[in-house]
Structure 1
Amino acid sequence: MNLTKQSLAKMIDQTLLKPFASEQDFKTLCETSKQYGFKMVAINPAVVKTCLKYLEGSDVLAGAAIGFPLGQNTIETKVFETEDAIANGSGEIDYVINIGELKNKNYAYIKQEMETIVGICKKHQVTSKVIFENCYLTDEEKVKLCEIALEVRPDFIKTSTGFGTGGATLADVKLMKSIVKDQIKVKASGGIRDLKFAQELIDAGVERIGTSCGVEIVDALAG
Structure 2
Amino acid sequence: MSQTSQLIDHTLLAPTATAGQIDTLVQEAVDHQFKTVCVNPTWVSRAHRAAEGTPVGICTVIGFPLGASTTAVKAFETTDAIANGADEVDMVINVGWALAGAWDDVEADIRAVVEAAAESPVLVKVILETCLLTAEQTAEASRRAVAAGADFVKTSTGFSKHGATVEAVRIMRETVGPDLGVKASGGVRTPEDLAAMVDAGASRVGASAGAAILAGSAQ
| Structure-2-length-normalised TM-score | 0.97
CA contact (8 A) 2:10 2:38 kept: yes
The answer to whether the aligner puts 1:68 opposite 2:64 as a matched pair is yes
Structure 2 counterpart of 1:66, one-letter code:
I
Listed as ranges, the gaps of 5+ residues in structure 1 are none
Look up the SS of the partner of 1:221 in the other structure. helix
Distance in 2 between the 1:149 and 1:49 partners? 27
The one-character-per-residue Cα deviations of 1:58-112 (angstroms, maximum 9, x if unpaired) are: 1111111110000010000101110000011100000000011111211111111
Partner of 2:153: 157
CA contact (8 A) 1:153 1:184 kept: no
| Structure-1-length-normalised TM-score | 0.95
Partner of 1:88: 84
The one-character-per-residue Cα deviations of 1:133-155 (angstroms, maximum 9, x if unpaired) are: 00111112111112212322311
Question: What RMSD, in angstroms, separates the aligned Cα atoms of the two structures?
Answer: 1.2
Aligned length: 219
Within-5 A mapping of 1:138-153: 138-153=134-149
The one-character-per-residue Cα deviations of 1:11-64 (angstroms, maximum 9, x if unpaired) are: 100000111111111111011101111111111000111111211221111111
Distance in 1 between the 2:14 and 2:193 partners? 23
Structure 2 counterpart of 1:181, one-letter code:
G
The answer to whether the aligner puts 1:186 opposite 2:188 as a matched pair is no
Structure 1 counterpart of 2:52, one-letter code:
E
CA contact (8 A) 1:187 1:209 kept: yes
The answer to whether the aligner puts 1:109 opposite 2:105 as a matched pair is yes
Partner of 2:205: 209
Structure 2 counterpart of 1:47, one-letter code:
W
CA contact (8 A) 1:150 1:183 kept: no
Look up the SS of the partner of 1:94 in the other structure. strand
Decide which of 165, 169, 187 is 1:169's aligned counterpart.
Answer: 165
Structure 1 counterpart of 2:62, one-letter code:
I
CA contact (8 A) 2:108 2:148 kept: no
Partner of 2:16: 20
The sequence identity of aligned pairs, in percent, is: 37
Distance in 1 between the 2:151 and 2:111 partners? 12
Look up the SS of the partner of 2:217 in the other structure. coil
Distance in 1 between the 2:112 and 2:81 partners? 15
CA contact (8 A) 2:8 2:204 kept: yes
Distance in 1 between the 2:14 and 2:128 partners? 20
CA contact (8 A) 1:9 1:36 kept: yes
Within-5 A mapping of 1:23-42: 23-42=19-38
Distance in 2 between the 1:110 and 1:60 partners? 31
Distance in 2 between the 1:35 and 1:176 partners? 31
Partner of 2:132: 136
Structure 2 counterpart of 1:149, one-letter code:
A
Listed as ranges, the gaps of 5+ residues in structure 2 are none
Look up the SS of the partner of 1:209 in the other structure. strand
